[in-house]
Amino acid sequence: MWIKRDLLNFLQGNRASALPIKVLRGPRQVGKTSLLNHLKTHKLILFDDLGIRNLAESNPALFFEQFTGPLILDEATLAPQIFPEIKKRVDAERRGHLEAGKPITIDLWVTGSNQTLLHKAVRESLSGRANYYFLNTISIHEWKATFQESISLSMLFMRGGWPELHAFPNLNPVQYLNDFISTFIEKDIVSAAGIEKKAAFSKALQIASGRIAQLLNASDIAKIVGVDVTTIQSWIALFEQNGVLRILPPYYVNLNQRLIKTPKIYFEDVGLAVRLQGWTAFEPILLSPYFGHLFENLVLSEIVRFFLNRGEQPEIFFVRSKMQEEIDFLLQLSNQRFIAIEVKVTPMDLTAKQMNLLNSLELNIVDKWIVSSVPSPNFANARVVCIDQICEELLKLSQFERIS
C-alpha cells in the first residue's frame, strides 16, 4: 500500500533544486526509495545488489558508462568510491557548460540511511554540488490524506509514523521497533562512528527517551551511563545527525538575562521513544507522567514535517524563564514574525505569566495557538488548533507568503 508523502508532492511540483545532485537523507525504513521511485523520472540503482556494488567500487567510471540517464543511487554509501567519480563528472560538465555552453546532463538522486557515512561522503565529494532533502516517518497529515480518516493517539504512540506499520496493520510494532533499534541504532550508527562502548551508547539513548520535552542535561546522563560528558554530547550529535533525536534550541537575546539558554531534547518519531521507554500498551501511558511530554513531542514532529516535506528548514524555539514560565514552541515565520504555541492535552488559555513572558520578548507575534488532541472553542488569549489540523493551518499561512 502506498502512503501519500507530502515531499513527493513538493518534488513533483517542480519546486526541487535544478542542481545535478540531490541528496535524500533519512533513517532506515521511512520510505526514501519508494518515494523517489514514485517520481517515475529516474532509474533505480540498488547498491544492495552485490554485483552492482562491486562494479561501482572497482570501476566507477565504467559503472556510469553502463548506467546512464537520470539515476537514483540507493544506499550509495555502500559503494563509497562512487562519490569521487560523481564529483569528477559534475565538475567536468560544469567546465564544459562555462566554456562551450554545453548542457549539464547529470541528474542523480543519492540516498543513504546511515547519515554518518552519507555526511562524510557528501562533505568530501559533493559540497557545493548538491541540494539536500530530508524524509522521516509519516506525519498525521500524510496519514489522513492516505486513509481519509483521523488517526488515534493510541496508534500514533504505539506505531509512530513508520510506513510499514501502517501499511501492514498485522505487523507487531514492538518487534518491528526492536528490530529497528537493533539494526539501525545498535549496529549501523555504532559501526559507522566507531563506537566501542556499545552498551553505554544504547543506554544513553534509552535514558534520553525518558527525558523528552525536558532540558538536555548531558552531565546527568553521563553520570548514569558512566562516560564523560564530552562523549555524551558527541553521541547526542550522532543521534541528531541520523534523524533519531531533535535538539530544540531556546529563544533568547543576550540582553535578556531572565531566559534559560539550555536546549530541550525530543525524538523525531514518538513511536520510537515509546518503545525505548518500554511501553507495550497505550492505556498505561495515559495514566503516566510521560503522556504530556510524548504528546508535546508529537506536536513538534508534525510542525517539523510540514517544513521538511516542503524542502525547508523549520525555525522553531522554546522559551523558558529562570522563574519557570514557559512557552512550548516559538515558530518563526518570514519577516521576523512568530507564532507562539502551547501544547495542552486538556485545552486551556495562556496564563497571565505566559502572556507577560511573551510581551517581554518584544517580538512580532502574529498568532497564539493552544494545540490539543480535541476540538475546543477559542480562548481570550489564544485560539485552539487540533493536532491533526496543524498542517492545514500552516498551509493557509504559506499561501499568502513564503514561510521560512
| Pairing status of strand 316-320 against strand 264-267 | unpaired
CATH number for the domain harbouring residue 31: 3.40.50.300
pLDDT tens digits along 355-371 = 999 999 999 999 999 99
Q: Using an 8 Å Cβ cutoff, are 392 and 398 in contact? A: no
The last residue of a domain, from among 134, 153, 185:
134
pLDDT tens digits along 57-111 = 999 999 999 999 899 999 999 999 999 999 999 999 889 888 888 888 899 999 9
- Three-state SS for 172? coil
What residue spans of 104-228 are helical by DSSP H?
Answer: 115-125, 140-147, 153-159, 163-167, 173-180, 190-193, 198-209, 218-225
Q: Using an 8 Å Cβ cutoff, are 139 and 310 in contact? A: no
Do 237 and 339 have their domain in common?
A: yes
Do 256 and 345 have their domain in common?
A: yes
Residues of the chain falling short of pLDDT 50: 402-404
Phi then psi for 186, rounded to 5 degrees? -85, -10
Do 56 and 152 have their domain in common?
A: no
Do 234 and 335 have their domain in common?
A: yes
Do 29 and 120 have their domain in common?
A: yes
Do 119 and 200 have their domain in common?
A: no
Per-residue three-class SS string for 24-92: EECCCCCCHHHHHHCCCCCEEEECCCHHHHHHHHHCHHHHHHHCCCCEEEECHHHCCCHHHHHHHHHHH
Residue 292, C-alpha cell as written in the block:
504530556
Q: Long-range pairs for 88-96 at CB < 8 Å and ≥24 separation?
A: 89/64, 90/20, 90/21, 90/126, 90/129, 91/129, 93/20
Q: How far apart are CA 216 and CA 209, in angstroms?
A: 11
pTM here? Answer: 0.93
Do 258 and 371 have their domain in common?
A: yes
How many domains does one find in the chain? 2
Question: How many CA atoms lie less than 13 Å away from 97 in the CB half-sphere?
Answer: 11
Q: Which domain does 129 fall in, by range?
A: 6-134
Flag whether 95 is in a domain: yes
Q: Which DSSP symbol is given to 372?
A: E
What pLDDT score does 15 carry? 58
Our CA angle for 285, 288, 291, nearest 5°, is 60
What pLDDT score does 403 carry? 45
The last residue of a domain, from among 84, 110, 134:
134
Radius of gyration of the chain (CA): 22
Do 161 and 211 have their domain in common?
A: yes
Q: Which residues pair with 318 in a beta bridge?
A: 250
The last residue of a domain, from among 96, 111, 134:
134
pLDDT tens digits along 156-173 = 999 999 999 999 999 999
For 12-38, b/e burial (b = at least 16 CB within 10 A) is eeeebeebbbbbbbbbbbbbbbbbbbe
Do 191 and 340 have their domain in common?
A: yes
For 80-111, b/e burial (b = at least 16 CB within 10 A) is bebbebbbebbeebeeeeeeeeeeeebebbbb
Per-residue three-class SS string for 128-141: CCEEEEECCCCCHH
Q: Which DSSP symbol is given to 2?
A: P
Do 192 and 75 have their domain in common?
A: no
Do 331 and 296 have their domain in common?
A: yes
Do 210 and 352 have their domain in common?
A: yes
Q: Using an 8 Å Cβ cutoff, are 369 and 340 in contact? A: yes
Flag whether 321 is in a domain: yes
Flag whether 1 is in a domain: no
